[in-house]
Amino acid sequence: MARTELKLLGAWLSPYVMRARIALNIKSVDYEFLQETLGSKSQLLLESNPVHKKIPVLIHKGKPICESLIIVEYIDETWSSGPSILPSDPYDRAIAKFWGTYVDEKWFPNLRILTAEGEAKDHVIRTIVEGLDLLEDAFVKISKGKTFFGEDQIGYLDIAFGCYLGWLRALEKISEVKLLDEAKTPGLAKWADTFSSHPAVKDVKPEVDKLVEYGKSPEAKYRAAKAASS
């Protein structure tokens, strides 16, 4: 397949764009990465995703696919050039999708407001940590004692949750709060290191220091939040 037949619209700091890039790497698929300018939307993006007008958008043979986890599923179903991303067992697949929805709808929204102050910040931290405790328990059960949520290889839930690790580490530095604690969540802590160093991940994950630098100014935090929510 020619590189021009597959395009990905995205931005370097978006965890959702990272999902698509990891999935494409796992399948060893070549593609053209078109970076959107933060704070503006290209005509191609507006035409490709007229409903939400957000990244990522995967354009395959001229046809756009939107929403990050839908893109991951599409990549998994379209290319057989690498290992399967979603579990083959219907129950395991349902559980992976359940936790993928949880991290998007319940866990990450709290991480994004970690810069709150006073009692509000304390409440946010407790909520984030409680979520990590739940995910630690889920990891123990789903991984079945192996390396990833996908057991021996990176799977759907690894991608869904792992895309947030850069922002998790960056916000730990900005807020000076340790969230992913090796003593409290040893499984997740080890998983995070292994996931981040995986060949499909390490070249597409944003540098934590760049996220910290970008996230410190009020204007940057606003723009980053918008990009991250795409």
> What is the three-state SS of 108-147?
HHHHHCCCCCHHHHHHHHHHHHHHHHHHHHHHHHHHCCCC
pTM for this entry? 0.91
Give the C-alpha distances (Å, rounded to integers) separating 188 from 17, 82, 133, 174: 22, 25, 9, 21
Q: What is the DSSP string of 26-46?
A: HTT---EEEEPPTTS--HHHH
User: Quick one: pLDDT at residue 211?
Assistant: 92
Are the C-beta atoms of 155 and 149 separated by less than 8 Å?
A: yes
Contacts of 31 (CB under 8 A, 6+ apart): 3, 6, 7, 8, 24
Are the C-beta atoms of 209 and 162 separated by less than 8 Å?
A: no
Query: In terms of DSSP bridges, do strands 57-60 and 6-10 run parallel, antiparallel, or are they unpaired?
Result: antiparallel
Residue ranges for the chain with pLDDT beneath 50: 218-219, 222-230
Rounded to whole angstroms, the Cα distance separating 203 from 22 reads: 9
Selection from 28, 112, 18 nearest residue 71 by Cα: 18
Are the C-beta atoms of 26 and 79 separated by less than 8 Å?
A: no
User: Quick one: pLDDT at residue 2?
Assistant: 55
What domains, with CATH codes, occur in the chain?
A: 6-79 (3.40.30.10), 90-229 (1.20.1050.10)
Element (H, E) at 62: none
User: Quick one: pLDDT at residue 180?
Assistant: 95
Single-letter amino acid, residue 3: R
Give the C-alpha distances (Å, rounded to integers) separating 228 from 28, 68, 225: 25, 11, 5
Element (H, E) at 63: strand 63-66
User: Quick one: pLDDT at residue 224?
Assistant: 46
